[in-house]
Amino acid sequence: MTPTVLFETPDVRVRHVPAADAARHVVTFDCYHDVRGLDRTGFGEEFLVQRGITATHVLTRDNDWYQHPEMPEAMAAVRDAAAGAAAVMTYGSSMGGYAALRFADAAGASQVLALSPQYSIDPAKVPFEARFGQDQRRLRFLPGIDGLIHCRARAVVAYDTHGTDRLHADRIAADIPITRLRVPYGGHPVGGYLQDAGLLAELVMQVLDGTLDVAAAGQALRRARRGLGIHYGNLAAAQPACRPNLAVALAQRAVELAPDRLAPHHALALRLSAAGRHAEALAAHEQVAAWGRHPGFLLDYSHALSRAGDAAGALAVAHEIRQAWPHHAGIHHWTSDLLRAQRDVAGALHYAEQALALDPGSALYKRVVAALRAKLHPRAPHLAARSFWLQARRALGGR
């Protein structure tokens, strides 16, 4: 059946994909994405099409955590599309999980599946959240969307029990009752871990049908984890700095278990670099880069090149990342750091100013720009004071 657009503004699109099974209806929300625009498929769309389940997908142009004043209108269109279904589930991961919880009532949902959701990224509400600094500083959080969560549906929240996502789950549970699916060392988001364990499709269908046995799902996860490369890769990443050899050994086990998967190789590259085994780390990073030059993986590669003493190589990779992620303030800041280390103060200042222009609320970027300007123009404060003195003399008639 032909997909149709039910609602659209420059920032939000509601895309309806009808299927043979109209009794069950899944409403999905975009996760954090690198594609700026609306011309793409919805979250989980291919899976739901294969299963023949009707779905409505909410897509956003940017990673704005759905802080758009038109969201009530968008959700009215969603609710109308899902009105005839016997079972409606909202579904999303990370930023999409945030929305799946917060818009469940507006969608008329009876079930929610939220993978690694944030309660919010507003620092005033979640001071422990530091992963989305540029977005946290630029967004204006709307009380009608980002206030207390109101959700009458049964909400299943799957999350890694180690780190920030657990704190978000606890904060969500302070507002609404949730069914917790704990995924130790599942990473962020946990969808990839559940997929590798062979449990994600089953989880989606069981939550949609209201048949999930969370205790049985937890047991299945425990049985699966010993054979999961992603489990050992995440376990390696969780090791403290005082255990570099254990971290490397765990990452090597991850690669042994999943040699055809990208994530374990990336985990090994990071752990080798952290352990100071630079030649091995660079070989691993180069292998990851050969699979597909994703900017996130390339940024780690650039850091590893810098640690290994290859400043030119690190800078070349940083320039490549900037071409793919011109909107990302952090990569401009990293480029500035590399140039500053090479004593190219003018070049460093240029990219530091780019970073600050993209993220004007960053105190760090402000300090870096001020320091570089002072270094490039060391007499500037003196000249400014002299100019003020001359203006004062003129105002007093030259005295």
**In order of start, what are the domains of the chain with their CATH numbers?**
4-225 (3.40.50.1820), 326-399 (1.25.40)
pLDDT at site 48 = 96
Query: What would the pLDDT profile of 130-161 be if each residue is shown by its tens digit?
Result: 999 999 999 999 999 999 999 999 999 999 99
pTM: 0.91
| CB-based contact 305:314 (threshold 8 Å) | yes
Residue type, 318: A
**Strand-pair category, 87-93 with 12-17:** unpaired
pLDDT at site 34 = 82
Query: What would the pLDDT profile of 210-221 be if each residue is shown by its tens digit?
Result: 999 999 999 999
Q: Which of 156-170, 289-303, 360-374, 376-390 has the lowest mean pLDDT?
A: 376-390
Query: What would the pLDDT profile of 246-301 be if each residue is shown by its tens digit?
Result: 999 999 999 999 999 999 999 999 999 999 999 999 999 999 999 889 999 999 99
Separation of alpha carbons 316 and 322, rounded Å: 10
In this predicted model, which residue has the larger pLDDT, 226 or 381? 226
Which of 269, 212, 276 shows the shortest CA–CA distance to 244? 276
Q: Chain centroid to CA 215: how far?
A: 28
As a whole number, mean pLDDT of residues 31-39 equals 88
Would the pLDDT of 397 be above 80? Answer: no
To the nearest whole number, what is the mean pLDDT of the chain? 94
As a whole number, mean pLDDT of residues 45-49 equals 96
Would the pLDDT of 393 be above 60? Answer: no
Q: Which of 31-35, 200-204, 210-214, 329-333 has the lowest mean pLDDT?
A: 31-35
Query: What would the pLDDT profile of 149-206 be if each residue is shown by its tens digit?
Result: 999 999 999 999 998 999 999 999 999 999 999 999 999 999 999 999 999 999 999 9
Would the pLDDT of 395 be above 70? Answer: no
Separation of alpha carbons 75 and 375, rounded Å: 53
Q: Locate tokens 């793409």: which residue?
A: 40
